[in-house]
Structure formats: structure tokens, C-alpha cells
Amino acid sequence: MGLQQQIQNIFPAADQIPSEFLLTEPINQREYLIGGEMRLWDGPQEDVFSPLRLQTTTELLPQTIGKFPLLTETESLAALQAAVAAYDRGRGKWAVMPVQQRIECLQDFTYRMQTQRDQVVKILMWEIGKSYVDSQKEFDRTIDYIENTIDALKNLDRVCSRFEIVDKVIGQIRRAPLGVVLCMGPCNYPLNETFTTLIPALIMGNTIVMKTPRPGTLPVQPLLEAFQKAFPPGVVNTVYGKGRMVTPPLMTSGQVDALAFIGSSKAATNLDKLHPKPHRLRTILGLEAKNPAIILPSADLDLTVQECILGTLSFNGQRCTALKILFVHRQIAEAFLEKFVAAVNTLKFGMPWEPGVVVTPLAEPGKPEYLAELVEDAKRLGAEVINEAGGTVNETFFYPAVVYPVTPQMRLYDEEQFGPVIPIVPYDDLETPIEYIVNSNYGQQVSIFGQDRDAIADLIDPLVNQVCRVNLNSQCQRGPDTFPFTGRKDSAEGTLSVSDALRSFSIRTLVAAKENSLNKALITEIVKERKSNFLSTDFIL
Ligand code: G3H
């Protein structure tokens, strides 16, 4: 079967879907969690359409996989009030709880979460079209993240379980919570990225309002009961619905102390500016990126192609860390393009459950049309799609398009495509990619491919001051999660990693006293009789 025909036949008939990957029934989510109470919504719901169409004898049918509540400002503010009440201006049960007890709650949650693995993985596949293998990875990586966070917190707490005496002042310095955190994750990693802010925020003693992304709401539904059972009432509250309806009231209330948002810088700015007391709001943001690869004349082409395929096309290029533009030296451009296109041709595309599949349908409404517009714009300005069938659309499916040569006039040069379009720019002088990075609105990561030590070393020093991770002969990526993940300019605010996130969602606070006999006796008694959870030398094993 030719490529075009394979693309036209990509969607299965109902009886071709292996039964183990089917959702047993549509998820009719009516419940939302507020103040420890699982409330039932009897108002309007939003249908969740899968990007996976169903082939009938006559047509391709969209499939609904479930519904979720379209809450209003009233429920959103009720969720906020529950979080505010649970925090109780820093006097709430969760905020003052000993770290060890908070850890026990999180361990209980993790245990409950693991029982939902199969269902969450299946929903990820059906709702956002992520391959089965990557959906499993998203779940397992999140569990690892939680376990690593617990270890990191124990370490942090151990270091703080002592007093310091400096200049005759005794002090105990710990990290205290910020208050109420609004957590909003993205649709490409609705579970993992939401949890990489929610979990550290939670474990540091903050209370949470979680707004799930659209698409990407249903994968969290099987975990609602675990949140309800594992944490005290009001510590985790959920909000669903149209972002523009339910999130502005949260911000204008002035009662959100930290905004953890992964998404577009435009949406982040719109939320940020609604807070009436901007200095009281901490923002931890993961935003757009346009990570370039710089391919030097000395690059090992096979390795470079392998990494650039992973970098540009893993999960259809729908990663904030994806390589979104490739600068290739003109000397080797032809050889690189030949190998790269050959590699694209061999990539498996299809349904998420198919073994080895890389390219799958796209969940964001209107995405294939948007990508087609970018490609058309580039073609109009002189570029070509150089791979067979590149840019072919079949409903929600967009076959990867390798676009060459891309120039600064084209939208693809600067716009974050967030999908399977690979713009390639030939260059003669290294100043071209360097200037590109310097002038870019984004500053997350870069990949350099080459074997010439001098050339690479000469690039590292200027580039570390432009982006936050320089990858050598490797695609851009977030992991391992213990490494810092951040960006400059419009790409991020704050740093996320297992240990950095604990710091991002807390503030250093200390108890201090002049070193005299009264204070020494006072502190000794408080510690000995375990009267305070903060002023304590308890050591978590
Ligand atoms: O979309 C952004 C994700 O954090 C990317 O993570 O590089 O591990 O796929 P990843």
C-alpha cells in the first residue's frame, strides 16, 4: 500500500481495536472535589472527543470518550474558599503538620494512585492520542517523581533539623508554605506536568486548587477519590470547565498566593495581571519554546539524525522541549536531508496502541489546519516539503512535513509549531543560529551536534547565557527530573526539578533568638517536649 493510501486508511474499524485497549465505558464525570466533599454536578458537561476516529463503511466517525463538568464561577470560587479555609492563614492542619505526617499522606495517595494505572494510561491514549508506551511512561514517571520528591524532602528536612549559632544568635531555618496554589497543567502531559507542580506544592504544606487542561481533563478523574481519601479536607480542590470562565475569578480574588501554570505565555500573562496584589503572587511558569538544533559540519550524521528524529517527532513534536527548528551547515545539508527524510519515511504512524508507533493523531482542535497554514506560508515564500506525503492531512492526523529551506520571513522560523512540522535552515556562518537564539523570544534549550571540540567549546560559553540547557549530540529534553528544568525570556519563570520545585513552592523562614540563658532554656524545653513542629530537631529516617 502506498504512503498516501496508508494515511487515508489510518483509522480503524471498531472490530480492529484490540479489546485490551478499549475503554470499558464512556466516562461520565459529574464529580468534583471541594473541601473534602465529592460534589455531583447536574449542570452542563463538555463532551470529550477522542482524536482517534472510527472508520465505518461509509465515513469516519468522531468518538466521544466521556464528559466532564462545565463548572461556573460559583463552583470555582467555592473551590478557592475551601483551599483558603484549609490553609487558614497558615494555621490549618496541613500547613502546620509535621513533615513526616505529610509524607505519609502522600505515600497513601501514591498507593491509591497506582491502583488506577491501567485506566489512566488508557484515557491518556484515547484523549490525547499518546502512544501506549508513552502513556505508560507518563504514568510511571509521575510515580517516580513523587517518590523522588519524598526523598528530596526528607533530605531537605534533615539539613534543617539543627540549629545554627552565628554572632551570638541562635536560628533554626526551614522552608514554610506559601499558601494557596493554583495548579494548571498542559494538554500534552496532563498528568505528569500537572503533578510536577501539584506534588511539591502539596508536600510543602500549601493547599491546592487544580484546574485540569482541555484536552486532558479525564486522565485525572480516576484519581479524585485518592485525593479525597489521602489528604485532609480542602487540601486538594478541583475545578473544571472553560478556562476563561473559571480561572479569572480565582486570580481577581487576590487569594491565590502562587500560580503554577504550564502553557502559553499569553495565557500566563493574562492570568498574572488579574491579581490585585502582584507582589503577593509567586509565579512558577513553564511556557513556550522554539529549541533549535545546530548541526556542525563535523556532526556524526547517523547519530544526529537519530536524535533529531526523537527531538522533533516524539509524541508528534508536541513537547515543550521538542527541537522546533534545525540549523544545518550548508556543507553537509544535502547528506543530512537525505538521511533525515529516509528516517522520517520509516517512522511508524498509526493508532496509539500499535507497537512501535511514533506519529499519531493530534488532540488539539484545529491543529492540522494550523500546521497546514504554516507549511503553506513557507511554500509561498520559497520552501518545499521534501518528504513524500509530508503535510498530508486525514481529519485529526497530520503526516510529518520536512520543510526546506526555511528563511526568516516564514512563520515557521519563529512560531512554535508544537506539532509534526520540521523546519530546516541551511547556514554558512555560525553567527546565523547564534543570532537566532539571541534574538528569539524564547530561551529554553539548544542541541549542538558535532565532533569538533574547539567549535563546540566556542559555542557552549555564549549559549549557556542564552538558554538553560545546552545538549551535546543529544536531543533537548526535560529529564532526568532531578536536573533543573527552566528557561529564560518567555520560556519559563522559576525552576522545576525534584528538589528545585520544593524550593519554588516554599519560602525560607526562621526562628531566631539572641543567645542568652533565657532563650537557650526556652528553646531547649520546646524541642525536648516536642511542643513545636517547626522548632524541632526531629530527624526523618
Ligand atoms: O512538554 C514539556 C515536557 O516537560 C517535556 O518533557 O522532554 O521529558 O518529554 P520531556
DSSP codes joined into one string, 97-155: S-HHHHHHHHHHHHHHHHTTHHHHHHHHHHHH---HHHHHHHHHHHHHHHHHHHHHHHH
The β-bridge partners of 183 are 210, 260
What's the 418 CA to ligand 1 centre distance in angstroms?
12
Strands 45-55 and 60-69: antiparallel
Q: Nearest Cα to 174, choosing from 537, 541, 526?
A: 537
In a mutational test of the pocket of ligand 1, which residue from 290, 312, 478, 485 has the highest number of ligand atoms less than 8 Å from its CB?
Answer: 478
What pLDDT shows up at residue 530? 94
Q: Could you give the CA distance from residue 175 to residue 180 in angstroms, rounded to a whole number?
A: 16
Which residue type does 435 have? E
pTM (two decimals) = 0.97
Rounded to the nearest angstrom, the distance between the alpha carbon of 375 and the centre of ligand 1 is 24
- Cell match 520543510: residue? 403
Over its length of 541 residues, how does the chain's per-residue pLDDT go in tens digits? 899 999 999 999 999 999 999 998 999 999 999 999 999 999 999 999 999 999 999 999 999 999 999 999 999 999 999 999 999 999 999 999 999 999 999 999 999 999 999 999 999 999 999 999 999 999 999 999 999 999 999 999 999 999 999 999 999 999 999 999 999 999 999 999 999 999 999 999 999 999 999 999 999 999 999 999 999 999 999 999 999 999 999 999 999 999 999 999 999 999 999 999 999 999 999 999 999 999 999 999 999 999 999 999 999 999 999 999 999 999 999 999 999 999 999 999 999 999 999 999 999 999 999 999 999 999 999 999 999 999 999 999 999 999 999 999 999 999 999 999 999 999 999 999 999 999 999 999 999 999 999 999 999 999 999 999 999 999 999 999 999 999 999 999 999 999 999 999 999 999 999 999 999 999 999 999 999 999 999 999 8
| pLDDT at position 1 | 83
Q: Which stretches does DSSP call E strand in 312-385?
A: 323-329, 384-385
Of the candidates 309, 397, 419, 314, the residue with the CA atom closest to the CA atom of residue 351: 397
pLDDT of residue 316: 98
d(CA 496, CA 493): 9
For residue 188, report the distance from its CA to the centre of ligand 1, in Å.
Answer: 9
Grid coordinates of 319: 513537547
Domains recognised in the chain with CATH numbers: 30-251 (3.40.605.10), 291-483 (3.40.309.10)
User: For residues 163 and 172, is the Cβ–Cβ distance under 8 A?
Assistant: yes
Q: Which atom of ligand 1 is nearest to the CA of 476?
A: 7
Q: What pLDDT score was predicted for residue 532?
A: 96
Which residues sit with their C-beta closer than 6 Å to ligand 1?
188-189, 193, 319-321, 477-479
**Nearest 5°: phi and psi at 404?**
-150, 145
| SS3 at position 526 | helix
Those residues whose C-beta lies under 8 Å from the C-beta of residue 479, and which sit 6 or more positions away, are 141
Q: Judging by beta carbons within 10 Å of its beta carbon (0-12, 13-18, 19+), is residue 243 exposed, middle or buried?
A: middle
pLDDT value of position 268: 97
| Residue 429 CA, ligand 1 centroid: distance in Å | 30
Q: What is the pLDDT, as a whole number, of residue 525?
A: 97
Grid cell at residue 316: 508528534
DSSP-based helix, strand, coil % in the chain, nearest 5: 40, 25, 35
Nearest atom in ligand 1 to 479's CA: 8
194 CA → ligand 1 middle, Å: 12
C-alpha cell read off for 186 = 498542559
Residue nearest to atom 6 of ligand 1 (CA): 478
Which distant-in-sequence residues (6+ apart) come within 8 Å of 525 by Cβ? 531
Write the DSSP symbol of residue 417. -
